[in-house]
Chains A and B, each alone.
Chain A
Amino acid sequence: MEKLKYERPSIKQLNAGLMNKFGLKTEYNPVTHIDGAPVKQIIADYGSPVFVMSERQIRKNYQNALRAFKTRYPKVQFAWSYKTNYLSAVCNVFHQEGSWAEVVSGFEYNKALNNGVPGNKIIFNGPDKREEDIRLAIENDSLIHIDHFDELYFLIEICEKLDRKPRVAIRVNMDTGIYPMWDRFGFNYESGQAWNAINKIMSTDRLELVGLHSHIGTFMLSTSAYAVAAAKLCDLAYHFKLKYNQNIQYLDLGGGFPSTNTLKGSFLPGADTVPSIDEFAEAITTTILNYGFRQDELPLLMLETGRAMVDDAGYLLGTVLATKRLSDGRRATIMDFGVNLMFTSFWYDHKISPAQEFSHHTEDMVVYGPLCMNIDVVRESVSLPLLQRGDNVVVHKVGAYNMTQWMQFISMRPNVVMVDMNDKVHLIRRAEKLEDLQMMEVMPEYLEKHEL
């Protein structure tokens, strides 16, 4: 018989609380494997903390989303939102599945090119497009989504110089009945600004208007907002057809579909509250199909879904550095990962699972990160087994935004690995080293020496 594992003693106030139908179950299922790869082995090989991406989950998410739209609407194209996770290996999984690239800066644009995405399959979004970026996008025949009038005029200016006619779309913002209304990007629909922009584009023969784009918000919990957005884009496309006798080739509904993470302050877990991709697909496609376009003139439906595609494909494996008791008696657990790696812990209550077996005893605790900063709190209050120094944990659903918004602050960024379809583990981004950071620094000569 295996020796029973030692668990530190704990004292817990008996607090039955209000009666609820879930009872007092505190069992934690340890997560020992990600897909088929053992957590302990990954940590042994790649250190702790370490991000793990599941290729299987990415492909599954993509295929689910594609199926949801394609079985409802004849022409659908996804474009991978680079800012959500632009690790090249992750991007290429999407590109292998057929996804285009959606970028919002010159850096991301070049990253997409480096990943082998043909220029004409890159959508260039965002309010910050520099002259050299725009020139590159025009040369590569990319789809440029215009954000504001200044950009429109600037674009026309460049086109005159280059004598080229790029394919463009305008970003439209609108009231879809949700709060906050995102009106800082693009041209407003209700005020007529969007229609004005369309007419300005059509009055110059420097640009070819091929699409309309909207992105109504992020982590949207209402499907009807998309139906409203789709209807308003259809309106624009329809009136465009009436006035100019040309077809808008695509409607880009942007992203914003939520993942199944639990937002802070929400009563029920995310998995139980967020609408599925199918529900969003139903709202969007039904609106466009019922709008009255001729079957052969139906616009292509473009989607830039990021978070919902990749969030649950990302895991963060970490190790307990210490446990201590705070002055108010609460237990505090210090992990080797914090908000430097998990920016999203500011708005999600990330699920944390132990990576090894425990008894059914649990303790409420605060989970802190390793930073020497007071804000470094991963979970303010969470009930976890009796963790000890050296125990491993798995944080779930960290695939979106963390690997792009992470900070090199106090500690450096760790390894990122990907578990492939055959459960083989590949390193896709190595941990940063001191030399990496030093490489960029320049020392003025007079500061080189000091006597200490």
Chain B
Amino acid sequence: MAGTTKTWADRLGPGLSGLFRSYSLIFFSHQVGFGILLFLASFIEPGAGTCGLVVLCLTRLGHRLFELEESLWTSGTLGFNAVLFGLALGDVYRFDLYLLLMLFPAAFLNLAVTMLFKQWLAKYQLPFLSIPFILSAWIFLLFARQVGSLSLSDHNVFMAGAFGFENIIAEDIRQTEPLWKIYLKSLSGLFFQKSLWTGALMAIGLLVYSRIAFSLSVIGFITAFAFYRLGGFNESDLTYHYTGFNFILTAIAIGGYFLLPSWRSYLLAIACIPLLVLLHHGLSGALQPYQLPAYSLSFSLVVIGVMVMLQQRTSFRNFQQVIEQTGIPEQNLYLSVSKAERFGKQYPIRFQLPVAGEWMVSQGYNGGITHLDRFQYALDFIILDAEMRSYQGVGSRVEDYYCYNKPVLAPADGWIEIAVPFVEDNPVGQVNREENWGNTVVIRHAEGVYSKLSHLKKDSIKVYPGQFVRKGDILATVGNSGRSPEPHLHYQIQGLPTIGSYSYPYPFAAFVKKNHKGRKLVEFSIPEEGCLVANPEKSETLFQAFNFLPGQQIKTVLEKDGQTEVSTWSVFTDAWNQLHLQCSLTGADLIVQHDGQFFRCTQFTGDKNSGLFWFFISVNRVLLSQDKALIAEDTFALNTFKPGPLLFFQDFLAPFYLFLKSPYSSNSLNTDYGLTNGQASLSSEARLDAFGKAVYRLKAQINIKQNRLESIQLWQQQKPFSLHFYWA
């Protein structure tokens, strides 16, 4: 969806796309299409519509004149208050030459107020919403009343002004209209109109833009209606005099836009409705002496108030604020769920097991023997043979133990903080409580993240304090020094560099767990006691095949549905040092990571028919190890695939329950350690599951030759197509 927006915008150019987004942003949408619809809807009352457009154009003029930031315009940030202001003026006054003349200062007034509020509120990370428009409108109304030369529009003449005298008319409308009509009119009221058609257009646009926003608008409105009825208030206020949209906008803003949609955010939105009623009528009353309408002031104040409170939270359990604002509640939700799933369990430092080959955890976290209290987050490693014995022969000498004198590796990059090499190894069965930890190496991986490896063999330490070691470098060998009755390796992560510091839990990034069922890849987890574990073996071929280098140009050919699409992908890094692949044909962009152990696609934007999209789907995540038993798992955000009817229904339910899932898995088709001839094959599967049943399946086979990607064969619902790579 983001992709289509981009192409729309590209086609229209920044001027027009900004213009239409100024309309759609009123509903928090960044969509140009929705903006066009709203733009057209505004012209159902031609006078008001024209006024809105004129003020908007003048705003653009001011924007260019003062050389303000371009994105302020293209995103619609600057324009939506102008649209509202214009529409409001067009509603109150008859559109004539004099009004047109007055629109010039009015537009610049609105622009200045907008910029003022933007600057003032931005530093508190708060939205200015429609406050600039309200202030500008008030000033204009007061001004017009002072000079008295502007003529009121027809219906306002009839109604004797849009404010202050509503009770005269209200009787006629009261209790005559069905609920849906009031809802539609409330919507159209946002554009200062009372046309059912405007409301219907807006409602359809809202539904197409976002199911969540639409359902929130209905929920907000019905809640308000119920509250009015319950309290015995005048229900006609909802449609009349532009009250109803306050509830609609607030429900969308709190329920789905600024907060991630969830049952909590929905409840909060509903709970805000009575507050809105209170505030709106309170403010109206306060403004009555000045004959000024409250417009959407209550909405703005309530939303800003909620945001202020959210920002001062001490914990973040109840509500989740949107961090990455895409402008569409569904997308915010799906992206956030997917990011939490994909990256939520990750830790910044990717530790590997500090040993080579297959070892067993002889004492795990809180192991009961010595891993107790403040030292409970530690692991002991030993080696077992097929008979599950840790030694050969009698086991009376340390040399009998398989793990004795085996290399101890750096679990991650870091600086050697401490190296104690001189403690004698104990005979089997004896412990040295004086020098509890025995020979020990402490590595600083980051401030507050130190790894400690203990009971090492005397004089086996190869590193010195201050030295930088890379992940996998040999530090020493396993010994039997300190409080160790038989040879083993003690490993823990601690917060301080000193020997004897308290441990805390920190998982390994990835390891292979072996049991009677076979081998399995486990990520960001701590191996339990009794577990047989090993590091995944690296594959040089896969490492190189997925090692995209900035500056590379890759020619790709997508053969799908009898059509051939040739495109060149460029590899580059951006200012945040993220690696991008960009398709020259469609502009589609893929951000990838390669950390030596995994290749991973982190974000795709653009055309979902491009070869790059299919590349993204097939290699979303790849373990750079040729071991077919190890399956790399991942998920996609639900909106990754093209939207279908299922997703449409999911959108409505999304805040409460996700019946769709989009899992991904990949694995090597062969097992090959060490030496390869540059060839490898991977298979992957991407699915969309509804209630656990696959409704969409994309299978892929990735072929690598001479350490480079050669082709990807894909099967979409068993229909084959292919992507080929040509390297310069």
Q: List residues of A whose CB falls within 8 A of some B CB.
A: 59-60, 63-64, 67, 70-77, 98, 120, 141, 167, 210-211, 249-250, 276, 278, 282, 289, 295, 300, 302
Least Cβ–Cβ distance between B510 and chain A, in angstroms: 16
B677 & A141 in contact (Cβ 8 Å cutoff): yes
A70 to B671, CA, bound (A): 16
Least Cβ–Cβ distance between B217 and chain A, in angstroms: 58
> What does DSSP make chain B's interface, helix, strand, loop or mixed?
loop
Residues of B contacting A250 in the complex (Cβ-Cβ under 8 angstroms): 674-675
B677 & A167 in contact (Cβ 8 Å cutoff): yes
Residues of A contacting B474 in the complex (Cβ-Cβ under 8 angstroms): 289
A-B pairs with beta carbons under 8 Å apart, 11 shown: A63-B386, A64-B385, A67-B385, A71-B355, A73-B356, A74-B472, A75-B674, A211-B675, A278-B392, A289-B407, A302-B675
Q: Which of B44-101 contact A (CB under 8 A)?
A: none
B8 within 8 A of A: no
B392 & A71 in contact (Cβ 8 Å cutoff): no
Q: Which of B322-330, B398-406, B578-586 contacts A (4 or more CB under 8 A)?
A: B398-406
B470 within 8 A of A: yes
Interface size class of B (residues with CB under 8 A): 20 to 34
Residues of B contacting A141 in the complex (Cβ-Cβ under 8 angstroms): 677
B357 within 8 A of A: yes
A72 & B677 in contact (Cβ 8 Å cutoff): no
Q: List residues of B whose CB falls within 8 A of some A CB.
A: 355-359, 383, 385-386, 392, 402-403, 405-407, 470, 472-474, 537, 671, 673-677, 679
Task: Pick the residue among A59, A60, A71, A167 that contacts B356 (CB under 8 A).
Answer: A71
A168 to B675, CA, bound (A): 13
Task: Pick the residue among A63, A64, A98 that contacts B671 (CB under 8 A).
Answer: A98
A74 to B358, CA, bound (A): 11
Task: Pick the residue among A67, A120, A167, A300 that contacts B402 (CB under 8 A).
Answer: A67
Least Cβ–Cβ distance between A290 and chain B, in angstroms: 9
A71 & B677 in contact (Cβ 8 Å cutoff): no
B385 & A72 in contact (Cβ 8 Å cutoff): no
Residues of A contacting B679 in the complex (Cβ-Cβ under 8 angstroms): 120
B674 & A295 in contact (Cβ 8 Å cutoff): no
Q: Supply 4 further A-B pairs (C-beta < 8 A) apart from A71-B402, A77-B675.
A: A71-B403, A71-B406, A75-B674, A98-B671
Instruction: List the B residue with the shortest CB-CB distance to A289.
Output: B474
> What does DSSP make chain A's interface, helix, strand, loop or mixed?
mixed
Instruction: List the A residue with the shortest CB-CB distance to B596.
Output: A296
Instruction: List the B residue with the shortest CB-CB distance to A143.
Output: B675
Least Cβ–Cβ distance between B381 and chain A, in angstroms: 10
Contact (A300, B674) CB under 8 Å given A70-B357, A289-B407: yes
Closest 3 CB pairs of A and B: A71-B357, A70-B357, A300-B674
Least Cβ–Cβ distance between B710 and chain A, in angstroms: 16
A74 to B406, CA, bound (A): 12
A120 to B679, CA, bound (A): 10
A302 to B406, CA, bound (A): 19
Least Cβ–Cβ distance between A56 and chain B, in angstroms: 9
Residues of B contacting A120 in the complex (Cβ-Cβ under 8 angstroms): 676-677, 679
Least Cβ–Cβ distance between A443 and chain B, in angstroms: 49
Least Cβ–Cβ distance between A62 and chain B, in angstroms: 10
Instruction: List the B residue with the shortest CB-CB distance to A75.
Output: B674
Residues of A contacting B355 in the complex (Cβ-Cβ under 8 angstroms): 71
A98 to B675, CA, bound (A): 13
Contact (A276, B392) CB under 8 Å given A71-B358, A74-B356: yes
A67 & B358 in contact (Cβ 8 Å cutoff): yes
Instruction: List the B residue with the shortest CB-CB distance to A249.
Output: B675
Contact (A60, B386) CB under 8 Å given A77-B675, A282-B405, A300-B675: yes
Residues of B contacting A98 in the complex (Cβ-Cβ under 8 angstroms): 671, 673
A407 to B420, CA, bound (A): 61
A250 to B674, CA, bound (A): 9
Least Cβ–Cβ distance between B454 and chain A, in angstroms: 19
A75 to B673, CA, bound (A): 7
A211 to B675, CA, bound (A): 10
B673 & A77 in contact (Cβ 8 Å cutoff): yes
Task: Pick the residue among A63, A72, A76, A276 that contacts B406 (CB under 8 A).
Answer: A72
B357 & A64 in contact (Cβ 8 Å cutoff): no
A276 to B673, CA, bound (A): 25
A76 & B677 in contact (Cβ 8 Å cutoff): no
Instruction: List the B residue with the shortest CB-CB distance to A301.
Output: B674
B386 & A64 in contact (Cβ 8 Å cutoff): yes
B392 & A295 in contact (Cβ 8 Å cutoff): no
Least Cβ–Cβ distance between A416 and chain B, in angstroms: 24
Least Cβ–Cβ distance between B130 and chain A, in angstroms: 59
B356 & A70 in contact (Cβ 8 Å cutoff): yes
Instruction: List the A residue with the shortest CB-CB distance to B474.
Output: A289
Instruction: List the A residue with the shortest CB-CB distance to B673.
Output: A77
A167 to B386, CA, bound (A): 36
Least Cβ–Cβ distance between B403 and chain A, in angstroms: 7
Residues of A contacting B356 in the complex (Cβ-Cβ under 8 angstroms): 70-74
A98 to B628, CA, bound (A): 13
Contact (A77, B358) CB under 8 Å given A71-B406, A276-B392, A289-B474: no
Least Cβ–Cβ distance between B462 and chain A, in angstroms: 9
Residue in B407, B470, B472, B677 with the greatest tally of chain A CB atoms within 10 Å: B677
Instruction: List the B residue with the shortest CB-CB distance to A62.
Output: B386
Instruction: List the B residue with the shortest CB-CB distance to A121.
Output: B672
Instruction: List the B residue with the shortest CB-CB distance to A119.
Output: B677
B473 & A295 in contact (Cβ 8 Å cutoff): yes
Residues of B contacting A282 in the complex (Cβ-Cβ under 8 angstroms): 405
B674 & A76 in contact (Cβ 8 Å cutoff): yes
Residue in B470, B671, B674, B676 with the greatest tally of chain A CB atoms within 10 Å: B674
Task: Pick the residue among B383, B671, B675 that contacts A210 (CB under 8 A).
Answer: B675
A71 to B409, CA, bound (A): 11
Residues of B contacting A60 in the complex (Cβ-Cβ under 8 angstroms): 386
A70 to B512, CA, bound (A): 15
Residues of B contacting A249 in the complex (Cβ-Cβ under 8 angstroms): 675
Residues of B contacting A73 in the complex (Cβ-Cβ under 8 angstroms): 356
B358 & A295 in contact (Cβ 8 Å cutoff): no
A71 to B405, CA, bound (A): 10
Least Cβ–Cβ distance between A285 and chain B, in angstroms: 8
